[in-house]
Structure 1
Amino acid sequence: MPELSKRTNTFTDSVIRRMTRVSLQYDAVNLSQGFPDFEPPREILERLSQVTHEDFHQYSITWGAQNFREALAEKQSRLLGRKIDPNGEIVVTCGSTEAMMAAMMTVANPGDKVIVFSPFYENYGADTILSGADPIYVPLYPPKFNFNPDELEAAFKQKPKALILCNPSNPCGKVFTYDELKLIANFAERYDTFVITDEVYEHIVYEPHKHVYFSSLPGMWERTISCSSLSKTYSITGWRLGYIIAPAHVIDVAKKVHDFLTVGAAAPLQEAAVVGLKFDDTYYRWLQDKYTKKRDLFLKGLDDIGISHTVPEGAYYILLDISEFGFDSDLEFCEVLARDVGVGAVPGSSFFRENVNHLIRFHFAKKDETLYEALNRLQDLRKKIPVCNLKGR
C-alpha cells in the first residue's frame, strides 16, 4: 500500500478533546475542554426556535449571510475604531478553528516560518505544520508569562511570514499590555511580517486589565488578520460560528480558502446569532462580571485547598502546579485525577514547546454548582493521589 501523508507525524490527536472523553469515561466533572454547561442568552435561543420554522435551511452566501456580516461589522467597527466593510473585509467561518487555519493558508507558503508563543493553544502548531510552514517557538515566562524582547526579535530576524498572537491567551490567561503589543507591532513592521490574532476571549478580561485589538494599533490594520468567534462570548461553542476580519486584498484570498475548506457556516445558526451581535454594551459588562465572579469563586476554593495556581488576567483558564505529586507524566496525572478524584483536566505539556510536565489546565466556564462540586472532589486530592506517588497507579 502507498505511504500515508507525513504531515501529522509530529503531533497526536487533540489532547484537550481526548480529556473530555476520559472525563466522560469516569463520570468526572469536566474542567478540561473549555465549554460552558449553562445556556446561551435567552434572546438567541428564542430566535433559534423561530428560525426552525423559517426559510434558513439551505446554504447561505459562502462567506457569510449578509445580515450576519452587517451586524458583525457594526459591532467590531465600534471596538476597532474603524469602519469595517461587511462585504469586503469579513469572512464567516466554521468556528475560529477554521478561521485560524484559513488565515494560515492565506498567508503561508510551504517552507515559510511562523512565530508561535509558548504556551499556545494546541491547534497553532498543527495549523502551521498542516499549511507546510515551520513554527518558531518563543517562550512566555511565568508567573506573568512575559516574553523576552531579545528572544522575540531573534525569531523575527529569521524572516517569518507571520506571528500568531492569542490575546487573551489560552492556556495561561495572559492579557498582553499595550506596550507589549506595540513592541510586537514594531517588529512586525521592521521585518515585514503578518500578525494572525486569535481573540476569541476578547470580552472575558478581568480588571484592571484591558483588551487592545492588535489591528487597532497604528499601521497594523494592513498586516493583521483578526480571527475570532461567537463561541465564548455567547456560550455557543457547538454552533461553530467564527470569522476573519482583514483588509480586502487579504479577505479575497481567505474567501477562496474558506470556500474549499467548508463552503460555509450553518445558515440557521447565523440567522439566530444576529440577535446576539446586536446586544449593547450592557451585555458585555454583564459577561465580564459573570466570569469575574466565577474566577474568584474557583480560585478561592483552590486557595482554601492549598493548591498553587496561576491567576488569569483574561479568558477562563488556570494552570495548576502538580509538582508536589511527583509524576513524571502530566498526562498520567490527569488520567488518575479523572479516575480517582473525579475531575477532568488537560495536561500542560500539550500547550508547551518546552519540556513542561508539572502543570495542568482547568477551566471555570461552568455553573457555580459545577465548580463547587469540582472543588468538593478536589478536597480529597492528596488522599486519593498521595504526594510523590510515582508508580503503581
Structure 2
Amino acid sequence: CEDSGQVLWEDYWVLSPGELASKFTSHTKAIILNTPNNPLGKVYNQEELQMIADLCVKHDVLCISDEVYEWLTYDGAKHVKIASLPGMWERTITIGSAGKSFSATGWKVGWAMGSGHILKHLKTVHQNSVYLCATAAQEAVAHGFQREFEQFGKPESYFLQLPAKLQVKRQKLAQCLKNVGLQPIMPEGGYFMMADISTIKADVPDSTGNDEPYDYRFVKWLIKNKGLATIPVSAFYSPEHCKDFQNYIRFCFIKEDSTLNAAEKILREWSESK
C-alpha cells in the first residue's frame, strides 16, 4: 500500500501463471472469466487474457466470459474481449447485460454472443429454462443499441457519459473511505469498490459459535450501528477460500448524489467519534 491508503494493482490481485496453469487438466471442460470483475473491479489486460486464451486453446477448453461491465472502465483501462484473441472466437461465449450497459437492471435482459456451433446448444438450454423475456424490454434494448450505434464515439454516447459520471462518484467514495481509515481498492471497472477493513477498530461481536466470517459480522455491525449497508466479500468465495477474504467489504457507488452524500456524512461522523 502507498501512504495514501490505495492498494496498488501491480502488487496485488494478479493471476499467478503457474497456479492458473496447474488448474487445467484433461478433465477441464470450461473456465468462467469475469472482466471487468465484480466485486474487485479488475480489468484484465491483453497480456493476462492471452495467458488464459493460450491455456484454453492448449487444453481445448470452453471460455464463458462475463463482460457485463464492458463499458464501465476508468483511468485509461481498456476492456478487451477474450473472444477477439486468436483461437478464441470458436470456443468463447460472451455474456452481456442491458442492466449494466443501459442502467436498466429491472428489465433482466441480457445476451450471449459466440460461434454458431456453441450457441445452438445454449439456445436449447435457454428455451427449456427461462424460455423468453418481455418483448417490450427487448425492443427497448434494441432501440438503445441503435442509438448508441449512431452516437458511438461521440460525446452524446451513453457508453461515454456513464463512466465519466461514475468516475466522479468513484473518487468521492474512495476519499470518504480513506478519511475514515478504510483502505479502498480502486476499481478499474464496474461500479463496486472493495475496502480493506483490517486496520479499523470497531466493536464487532465475536462469532456466536457458528464460525461466521468477520466481514459478515462487520457488515451487520455497520448496518446496526451506523446505518450504512455494504456487502461481505467472503460471500463471493467458496467455503475453502472465504476465510482468506473476510477482511474486505464491498461498496456500491452507482448511487444518487444524495445517497453518496448521506454515506459521506455517516463516515465523517464515525471518523470524528473515534
The Cα shift of 1:253 comes to: 0.8
What is the deviation of 1:142? 8.6
SS in 2 for 1:204: coil
Cα separation, 2, equivalents of 1:283 and 1:382: 37
The one-character-per-residue Cα deviations of 1:35-57 (angstroms, maximum 9, x if unpaired) are xxxxxxxxxxxxxxxxxxxxxxx
Matched, 1:325 2:201: yes
- Contact residue 341 and residue 380 of structure 1 kept, 8 A: no
C-alpha deviations, 1:207-237, integer Å up to 9, x for none? 2210001101111100001111110111110
Give secondary structure in 2 for the equivalent of 1:381: helix
Between the aligned partners of 2:143 and 2:12, the Cα distance in structure 1 is: 37
**Alignment deviations for residues 155-176 of structure 1 (CA, whole Å, 9 cap, x no partner):** 0135311110000000000000
CA distance in 2, matches of 1:383, 1:358: 23
Q: State the match for 1:174 in structure 2.
A: 42
Q: Please provide the CA RMSD for this pair.
A: 1.8
| Residues 316 and 365, structure 1, Cα contact 8 Å, conserved in 2 | yes
In the alignment, is residue 335 of structure 1 matched against residue 220 of structure 2? Answer: yes
Give the alignment of 1:112-127 within 5 angstroms: none
What SS does structure 1 have at the residue aligned with 2:28? coil
CA displacement, residues 296-342 of structure 1 (integer Å, 9 cap, x when unaligned): 12112222333211010111111111113365621111111111111
How many angstroms apart in 2 are the aligned matches of 1:285 and 1:383?
Answer: 38
The letter of the residue matching 1:309 is P
Structure 1 position 363 matched with structure 2 position 252: yes
What SS is found at the alignment partner of 1:252?
helix
Q: 5 Å matches for 1:1-393?
A: 144-157=12-25, 159-278=27-146, 279=148, 280-281=151-152, 282-323=157-198, 324-325=200-201, 327=204, 329-353=214-238, 354=241, 355=243, 356-381=245-270
Contact 1:199–1:228 (Cα < 8 Å) also in 2: yes
Find the aligned partners of 1:206 and 1:382 in 2 and give their Cα distance. Answer: 28
Question: Aligned-pair distance for 1:273?
Answer: 2.0
Higher RCO (CA-CA < 8 Å; seq separation 6+): 1
How many Å apart are 1:275 and its aligned residue?
A: 1.8
Letter aligned with residue 159 of structure 1: H
Q: Quick check: 2:179–2:271 contact (8 Å CA) kept in 1?
A: no
Separation in 2 of the partners of 1:150 and 1:320? 28
- Tell me the distance in 2 between the aligned counterparts of 1:142 and 1:321: 17
Partner Cα separation in structure 1 for residue 75 and residue 271 of structure 2: 33
Work out the CA distance in 1 between the residues paired with 2:217 and 2:269. 18
Shift of 1:358: 0.8
* 1:374 to partner: Cα distance: 0.7
Percent identity reads 35
Aligned-partner residue type, residue 298 of structure 1: L
Who is 1:21 aligned against?
none
Q: What secondary structure, in the 3-state scheme, does the structure 2 residue paired with 1:200 have? A: coil
- Listed one character per residue, the Cα deviations across residues 337-359 of structure 1 (whole Å, up to 9, x for unaligned) are 11111111111111234222111
CA distance in 2, matches of 1:382, 1:284: 36
- AA matched with 1:348: V
Local SS of the residue matching 1:163: strand
The alpha-carbon deviation at position 382 of structure 1 amounts to 5.3
- State the 1:289 CA deviation: 0.8
The residue identity in structure 2 corresponding to 1:157 is T
Query: What 5-or-longer segments of structure 2 have no aligned partner?
Result: 1-8, 205-212
Aligned to 1:117: none
Q: Shift of the alpha carbon at 1:201?
A: 0.2
Q: Is the 8 A contact 2:215 2:248 kept in 1?
A: yes
Amino acid at match of 2:89: W
Q: Between Structure 1 and Structure 2, how many residues are aligned?
A: 245
1:143: how far off? 5.5
Structure 2 residue identity aligned to 1:331: Y
